[in-house]
Amino acid sequence: MPDIYAIAASVNELAQPGIKPKDLIEAVRERHPKASKKNIVRGAFLAVITHADADPDKVAQMHETALSARSTDDEAPVSTKVEKRSQKKPKAAR
């Protein structure tokens, strides 16, 4: 099993503002060919947590990559938007 800390270091090094999540995953896979997509996502989240103070643009890119890659593995996509709930109309008086 690939070292999650080594993957996180690679994600941190390779992440650049504007890079597509798919391209970042492919670049990490070149360095860690035995890493599964799940391990890369975990490494990206670890990199976000450990480098949150450093470079906000880079951290935002790593977070976007982790979320988008994780949502392809799950049944439903992850949404970061908050939706308004519809309010029920009161029933008419009888």
Whether residue 87 lies inside any domain: the answer is no
Whether residue 48 lies inside any domain: the answer is yes
The number of folded domains in the chain is 1
Domain that holds residue 64: 4-73
Residue-level pLDDT at 16: 82
Distance CA 41, CA 43 (A): 5
Whether residue 81 lies inside any domain: the answer is no
Whether residue 82 lies inside any domain: the answer is no
Whether residue 84 lies inside any domain: the answer is no
Q: What is the chain's pLDDT, residue by residue, as a tens digit (94 residues)? A: 679 999 999 988 998 878 888 898 899 999 999 999 899 989 988 888 887 777 777 777 777 777 877 665 544 444 445 455 556 666 665 5
Scan for tokens 């503002």, then name that residue: 17
Determine if the pTM surpasses 0.85. Answer: no
Q: Helix 4-14 to helix 37-50 angle, to the nearest 10 degrees?
A: 70
Residue-level pLDDT at 48: 82
Distance CA 26, CA 2 (A): 16
Residue-level pLDDT at 49: 84
Whether residue 78 lies inside any domain: the answer is no
